[in-house]
Structure 1
Amino acid sequence: MAHPRHDPLTLALHWLIALLILGAYVTSELAQGRGGPGTNLHGSLGLAVFGLSLIRILWRGLAPHPAPVPMGAWMARAAHLAHVALYVTMLLAPALGLAALWARGSEMSFLGFIPLPSPMTPDRAFSRTLKGAHELASNALVILALLHAAAAIFHQYILRDGLLERMLPRRR
């Protein structure tokens, strides 16, 4: 059965992950350099993005979907590829960041009280490689998120097809 809007859990996960990505981006500046004051907050936000993204992907396979918005085949394909790229980078960026930290020989504590000790043997060169990959994946994630938002705005105000309204909370 097709539904006109996404379900409440999908909406909550979508917007919470978006806010966490924004928070991770902002705190990345605080985390610059080894052991900066924002490192643990940045890492915790990233791990929350990772965990909630896994839940979102699993839920996506289970949740009822709204009926597809009519659009050209190329646009539907582009939307599908963009969503896949978003999900991949939402998992890859935090995983690479944590691996870079562990490869450096550091540990992290999620939310300041759940220790995540490194299972890796320290290797500074590998850590630098992982850090570069983390930054690349993170930049790709931010760019994809901005393109995703731009596409939603395009659908709302140019195509006027109601696509964005399916992801917004109901107005009373």
Structure 2
Amino acid sequence: MTLKNTETAYGTVAKWLHWGVAVLFLAAYASYYYRHWFTESKTPENMTALQIHLSVGISIFVLVLLRIIWRVMNAQPKPEPGTKLEHLAAHLGHYALYGVMIIMPITGYLGTGLGADFFFMFEIPKFEETWLFNFLVVEQLGMTFKEFEKPMDFIHKDIFGAWLAWILILGHFLAALYHHYVKQDNTLIKMTTGK
């Protein structure tokens, strides 16, 4: 197995970035649902779950940026045979997933009214305390944090988090199974064993 991609499979780095983001996405949702289903508001357990959610979200953003850089720097494996419509659907699905993986962490950070204690190692200040907030939101948009927070929360929680991310993830998962069990091609194998 090589670090870089080949014509027939993804390399070790691409695989680790892909599966790392997948695991972190599940961790982000697990910490969110744990917080809302099993803790009382503003308790230490509730705040710990929130800090884990914030830390995981920041990690997803960093890994996705690394993944995009790595993708640009490496040749992609040749696509499996398919119709133009199948290839178009695959490309659109991947672009939509990348969009969600970038927009969700950004809107989560922008709309959170507290700093992130990144895995309890160091503090990342809340957006409201940054010069960028004062410049963009206060000076340019003329908004308070409470006014700015509402659309960010709506995008993060109600549009992307509540249903769009799950639809795209389910579609990605079902497409992988379709390729593996129905078409019986190497699409899934390229991102797993490579054999």
* TM-score of the two chains, using structure 1 as the length reference: 0.89
Task: Show the counterpart of 1:19.
Answer: 23
1:71 paired to 2:94: no
**2:150 pairs with one of 123, 128, 134:** 128
Rounded to whole Å, the distance in 2 between the matches of 1:148 and 1:16 is 16
Unpaired stretches in structure 2, ≥5 consecutive residues:
135-143
Task: Show the counterpart of 2:70.
Answer: 59
1:161 paired to 2:182: no
Count of matched residue pairs:
168
Stretch moving more, 135-144 or 6-15: 135-144
Question: What amino acid is aligned across from residue 127 of structure 1 in structure 2?
Answer: E
Unpaired stretches in structure 1, ≥5 consecutive residues:
none
Question: What amino acid is aligned across from residue 52 of structure 2 in structure 1?
Answer: L
Q: Residue deviations 1:58-91, cap 9 Å, x none? A: 1111123212111100110010010000001001
Do the aligned partners of 2:54 and 2:116 also contact (CA within 8 Å) in 1?
A: yes
TM superposition outliers: structure 1 runs of 4+ over 4 Å: none
1:107 paired to 2:129: no
Rounded to whole Å, the distance in 2 between the matches of 1:152 and 1:43 is 29
Rounded to whole Å, the distance in 2 between the matches of 1:90 and 1:149 is 16
Rounded to whole Å, the distance in 2 between the matches of 1:5 and 1:170 is 6
Do the aligned partners of 1:7 and 1:63 also contact (CA within 8 Å) in 2?
A: no
Rounded to whole Å, the distance in 2 between the matches of 1:70 and 1:5 is 15
Q: What value does the CA root-mean-square deviation take over the aligned residues?
A: 1.9
* TM-score of the two chains, using structure 2 as the length reference: 0.79
Question: What amino acid is aligned across from residue 84 of structure 2 in structure 1?
Answer: A
Question: What amino acid is aligned across from residue 91 of structure 1 in structure 2?
Answer: I
Rounded to whole Å, the distance in 2 between the matches of 1:51 and 1:83 is 18
Rounded to whole Å, the distance in 1 between the matches of 2:10 and 2:119 is 30
Question: What amino acid is aligned across from residue 27 of structure 2 in structure 1?
Answer: G
**2:170 pairs with one of 130, 143, 146:** 146
State the shift of 1:165 in Å: 0.5
State the shift of 1:34 in Å: 5.8
State the shift of 1:128 in Å: 2.6
